[in-house]
Structure 1
Amino acid sequence: MLRRVINPFLFLPLTLSINSFNVLSSETKNSIDNVLEEKSNITFVDYQEIEKIVLNNQELKSLKNLLTSAGFNLSSQVAQRYPTLDFQANGLPKYVAGKNYSSNSQTLKTSQFSANPSLNIRWDLIDPLRGSEIKIAKENYKIAKNNYEIKKKDLIQEARMRYHKYQKSYQDIKNKKFTLDLSITSLDNAKTKLESGIGTKFEVLEAEAQLSRDQQAVNEKKIEHEINTISLKEILNIKEDFEIHQEQKLVGFWNHRLNKNINEGLDKNLSLKNLILQKSIKKSQANSFVAQNKPNIYISNSLSSTFSKGDSLTTNIDSKKSGSNYTNTISLNFAWRIFDGGQNKNSYNSKIADAEAEKYAYENLKNVLTTSITKAYLNLKLNEEKIISSLKEIKSSKESVRLSRLRYNVGISTLKDVLIRQSELSNATSKNINAIYNYNLNLDELKRLTFLDISESCLGFNNTKLKNTESICNIQR
């Protein structure tokens, strides 16, 4: 009798707490939805168009200007092959006035306007430094061009990664909402059983706790999805809101053998080419130090003239008097630094040592690239298996949820078993979402590392369609 009186008071605070928590959870959910649903102008972004959109990235525009700068520097160095023309004028015009007094002669006066223009032409026939400087400028231009392409490809890969992450977070929301619906059904069933006298309050509390956890999981995934949205907008330099294909799918198939991946990746890698160019630059710099001890031969032509009006150093100034003269000098010139104390020789040895260091950096990068390509390829194959196995797990988990709910409804199982099966289904779906996400990342990584294309159709190594029922080729794209 005492137990019947006390029990309602024991459960009343807990029930009020749960009800208030549900109200708070509902208010939080509405608040989050209101924040996330604020939209302005909408732009549609397609996966295939990411490469074009990335060109608007601010960092890429900065590298584009550096490439332009390197091009102008190359043109500047090439211009050394051509003669130079200098014009000089000492006083244009120049006026001189003065007197020259002497006790033994007459006082002389000067009042004269004059102009002294000159034209100088120089053409270096043999310039030992010119060839090395032009070659260095060409290779620096190639490096700047490669750096632009490297950054562009890195940004494209990063943008595609964020695109896949955006899709993944959308699928995570769908999965958690589906699990939330299952928890709502489980709570309704538990309340119905309690009201009919065949259930327990403990099962209701357990169902409500699971529902709260699932609601929290949905809210977390919504926030994560919004963060991924901001991240994607940032790299694509999009100011307004956008939409993409929300459904997660395989972006393609990889039909290339591992050896081909490695060979193509090493052959076309721009970072490796930059190291080769850096080594060549170091050798050209070394040669330029040697060239400083070689003779420089050039032709020069100097045309100078003088025009004057007035008199200079005369007793009587004739302001109408005028005169002119010119001289033209052509010469073949020779300059040769014979001795510099060994300075250029030591500088040459220093640059040769730097060039040798680039060789080891090249070999190290080759090893790193080989490892990266191999890991990406093996991870791709692993994720292919995970996609197939997770689909099987989803299928069996759905059936387990259905059977456990039937068993619970007829009273031969507990709600705990139903909630466990729900969790297993949610986990299996998450595994599939993650496997597809990682598979797509591996595809993009292999494309970036090997410069090979992702295939639209799934083929074996003998270029024929695979008929294995458990093959990745049978996954819906």
Structure 2
Amino acid sequence: MLRRVINPFLLLPLTLSTNTFNVLSSETKNYIDNVLEEKLNITFVDYQEIEKLVLNNQELKSLQNLVASASFNLSSQIAKRYPSLDFQANGLPKYVAGKKYNSSSPTLKTSQFTANPSLNIKWDLIAPLRGSEIKIAKTNYKIAENNYEIKKKDLIQEARIRYHKYKKSYQDIQNKKFTLNLSTTSLKNAKAKLDAGIGTKFEVLEAEAQLSRDQQSLNEKKIEHEINKISLKEILNVKGDLETNKEQNLIGFWNHKLKKNIDEGLDKNLSLKNLIFQTSIKKSQAESFLAQNRPNIYISNSLSSTFSKGDSLATKIDSEKSGSNYTNTISLNFAWSIFDGGQNKNSYKSKIADAESEKYVYENLKNVLTTSISKAYLNLKLNEEKIISSLKEIESSKESVRLTRLRYDVGISTLKDVLVRQSELSTAKSKNINAIYSYNLNIDELERLTFLDKSKNCLNSNNTKIKDAESICNL
């Protein structure tokens, strides 16, 4: 009966309250939304395209050059296996003119053009340092390749984190808009009841304060959304504006057991492989110190020649006179640094000790990786439960809001109760958004750490589909 009395009075203040809200919304749009409206050269980014777009990252391009540098250095070291050929010419040509006077002999004159080209060949047959230098260069090249792959995978994971954060912030905006609409309705009802004489000014003020808080919260989420967009554009090196699919969905399912995750992660981790390579480099450097006390054997061949035209030290210059000669010398050479006071031996021991220290770094990194994989796996399972429980909480909160509004309409509940239930519903929606966001991050993290792939189907240990209605598989 009381509800029938209230409803006619609700129509009277409707226009006034609507205009008030429109003014607030218009002011807010001019201040916030207009700042975010400018869009240029829109690029659509999908989750599947992130890996390709990451290749445009400037930092990754820099590492590509480091890989090329390591490749050229390896080629340079391998070239030491082959003979070297040097050409040299002293005066090409050279002209000599002069006189030699002696009181007891005729004056001698010189006017002559000469050229003295030479060709030298050297080939190291036994070069103790050469093998270590080539081995170190090969290992450095492998490390450079691994560093590129590590950085690429790290950038892909970071880009996916920013992608999920961008989509999450959009869902946060939708949640805040939903909450704002509820607060607007509550304010209208509070004003209507006040005008009907069955409400209080305190309830109107309370509703207006809640509306203002929700509007401010919405503006904060809009700014956060724009910042997340800028962050995503930066890592993908996207010029202009960017758009994505707005829906927040589960990106896949993880059907691998914890033990398999750890085993695969430790076996394929590139950082662990790089530590093994670093140990190998230090051992090769140690061997190079010992190699300096071993004999170096090489073949050399030197071909030198002289061509001349003109006369030298003659009483009369014959400008047409010419001559030439050449000398070829081939030799097997031997060089051996027999004693250096123990310098190379101690340097060898230093590098071996340095290599031994890498074992502890290796074991520590294995422990860190095992912990990271375990945490990501367990957090994934936790977020699966959070998604399910938050969905139940949303349904319960929706019903609570509906019932509380009915109680408020008939006067057996207060506006405070309505606002509390609204806040609970908004919190439940936020929990679900955060749970899906964290779940997707855990999937990406496990892919990065274990090199395993997520699945489109949710399977149990027997590789059969799970039919449990409350399972994450059936959402």
- TM-score, normalised by the number of residues in structure 1: 0.94
Which residue of the partner structure matches residue 212 of structure 2? 212
Which residue of the partner structure matches residue 300 of structure 2? 300
> Aligned partners of 2:462, 2:315: CA distance in 1, in Å?
108
The answer (yes or no) to whether the contact 1:85–1:119 under 8 Å persists in 2 is yes
Any residues of structure 2 matched to 1:112-123 within 5 Å, and which? 112-123=112-123
> Residues 55 and 386 from structure 1, CA distance in 2 versus in 1: closer, same or farther, beyond 3 angstroms?
same
- In structure 2, the residue corresponding to 1:299 is in which secondary structure? strand
The answer (yes or no) to whether the contact 2:41–2:239 under 8 Å persists in 1 is no
Which residue of the partner structure matches residue 470 of structure 1? 470
Q: CA deviation at 1:104?
A: 2.7
In the alignment, structure 1 residue 162 sits paired with structure 2 residue 162: yes
In the alignment, structure 1 residue 109 sits paired with structure 2 residue 117: no
The answer (yes or no) to whether the contact 1:172–1:433 under 8 Å persists in 2 is yes
Q: Structure 2: 5+ residue runs without aligned partners?
A: 1-18
AA at the equivalent of 2:307: F
- In structure 1, the residue corresponding to 2:102 is in which secondary structure? coil
The answer (yes or no) to whether the contact 1:25–1:212 under 8 Å persists in 2 is no
Which residue of the partner structure matches residue 339 of structure 2? 339
Which residue of the partner structure matches residue 133 of structure 2? 133
AA at the equivalent of 1:121: I
Q: Structure 1: 5+ residue runs without aligned partners?
A: 1-18
Which residue of the partner structure matches residue 386 of structure 1? 386
Q: CA deviation at 1:103?
A: 2.6
Any residues of structure 2 matched to 1:289-438 within 5 Å, and which? 289-438=289-438
Any residues of structure 2 matched to 1:60-99 within 5 Å, and which? 60-99=60-99
Q: CA deviation at 1:26?
A: 4.6
> Aligned partners of 1:292, 1:110: CA distance in 2, in Å?
51
> Aligned partners of 1:100, 1:77: CA distance in 2, in Å?
54
Q: CA deviation at 1:20?
A: 9.7
- In structure 1, the residue corresponding to 2:462 is in which secondary structure? coil
Residue identity (%): 84
Which residue of the partner structure matches residue 268 of structure 2? 268
Any residues of structure 2 matched to 1:440-459 within 5 Å, and which? 440-459=440-459
Which residue of the partner structure matches residue 43 of structure 2? 43
Q: Deviations over 1:209-238 (max 9, x none)?
A: 111111111101000001001000110101
> Aligned partners of 1:20, 1:469: CA distance in 2, in Å?
46
Q: CA deviation at 1:30?
A: 2.7
Alpha-carbon RMSD: 1.4
> Aligned partners of 1:458, 1:25: CA distance in 2, in Å?
44
> Aligned partners of 1:457, 1:23: CA distance in 2, in Å?
49
The answer (yes or no) to whether the contact 1:70–1:144 under 8 Å persists in 2 is yes
Q: CA deviation at 1:55?
A: 0.3
- In structure 2, the residue corresponding to 1:205 is in which secondary structure? helix
Q: CA deviation at 1:21?
A: 11
The answer (yes or no) to whether the contact 1:67–1:144 under 8 Å persists in 2 is yes
Q: Deviations over 1:44-74 (max 9, x none)?
A: 1110000000000001111111111110000
Q: CA deviation at 1:451?
A: 0.5
AA at the equivalent of 2:189: N
> Aligned partners of 1:216, 1:288: CA distance in 2, in Å?
68
The answer (yes or no) to whether the contact 2:128–2:291 under 8 Å persists in 1 is yes
Q: CA deviation at 1:29?
A: 3.7
Q: Deviations over 1:169-210 (max 9, x none)?
A: 000000000010011111111111111111111111111111
> Aligned partners of 1:267, 1:106: CA distance in 2, in Å?
91
> Aligned partners of 1:268, 1:315: CA distance in 2, in Å?
86
AA at the equivalent of 1:76: S
The answer (yes or no) to whether the contact 1:46–1:244 under 8 Å persists in 2 is yes
